[in-house]
Structure formats: C-alpha cells, structure tokens
Amino acid sequence: MKEKYLGVDFGDARTGLALSEPTGLLAVGAGCIRCGNLRKTAEQTAAFAKEQGVAKIIIGKPLNMNGTEGPRCERVRAFADIVAQESGIPVELFDERLTTVSAHRFLSDTGVSGKKRKNSVDELSATLILQDYLDRIRNKT
C-alpha cells in the first residue's frame, strides 16, 4: 500500500482539498475549507491531514508564468509553515501554474456553471495539483 497524500489549493476565501486514493495513482476531491483566515484555515487543514493519516501534504505554489515567485507565494509559504507546525507532517510546495485555469475549463466543458462552479473549482484545483504531483513522482521511479 502506498502512502496517502493531501493536495491543497490555498485561497483567501476557499481552500480546496484532495486526497490520494490507496494505490497512490489517483487524486480524489475531498472538499473545501471556507474560512478566509490564514491561521484558522491552516489549522483546519492540519487537523484534516492528521485525521486522514496522510504522510505528506502537497500545497500548490502559485508561480508566475515565467517561473518566478510573486507576492502570492509569500502568503502560501506562511500558510504552509503553519500547516507543517500544526500537523507535524512534511509539507511540499508544488508548482500549480494553470491548475485553476484547467479547472475552470473542465467545468465549462462539462456544463457546470454559476454557484456550482464556485463551489467546485477549488476542490478540483487541489485534485489537479495532487494528480500532477502523483504523476511526477510515479514517472521518476
């Protein structure tokens, strides 16, 4: 059995969550945290990770298209630091460029709009971040 991972798409209003399924091949949406407060969101994320027994937490790192870090990265790093401290679980930041764009495109292509889209996009973004991470580690071995 592979280790279980938690994927996180941190946002100011909503933070999407995804878990790897037991084989470690697929990421599956696990809901959203709707808090808006960095510390409380980090604490809730850490509690969820401990509750789920994950071995590692993968948090989307919002890089600019040219690969540089923008001001948003500082907030994500602060969030990641709190999650790591509160959970005691290793945290890794992972390039999330275009995941939100991909999530919106997928939801458009499947006819999801309005309020349903708003409620789904963050969870789907977290799923895409985690799936990209799982694919990358699987292809390295």
Per-residue pLDDT tens digits for 43-62: 999 999 999 999 999 999 98
> How many residues are listed for the chain in this entry?
141
Q: Is residue 83 within 8 Å of residue 38, measured between CB atoms?
A: no
Confidence of residue 24 (pLDDT cuts 50, 70, 90): confident
pTM of the complete model: 0.85
Phi, psi of 10 (to 5 degrees): -75, 130
Per-residue pLDDT tens digits for 56-110: 999 999 877 787 888 888 999 999 999 999 999 999 999 876 566 565 565 566 5
Can you give the residue range of the structural domain that contains 68? 5-140
The rounded distance, in Å, linking the Cα atoms of 88 and 36 is 23
Q: What is the CATH number for 46? A: 3.30.420.140
Candidates 124, 141, 134, 98; CA nearest to 17 is: 124
Q: Is residue 40 within 8 Å of residue 10, measured between CB atoms?
A: no
User: Structurally, how many domains does the chain consist of?
Assistant: 1
Q: Is residue 127 within 8 Å of residue 94, measured between CB atoms?
A: no
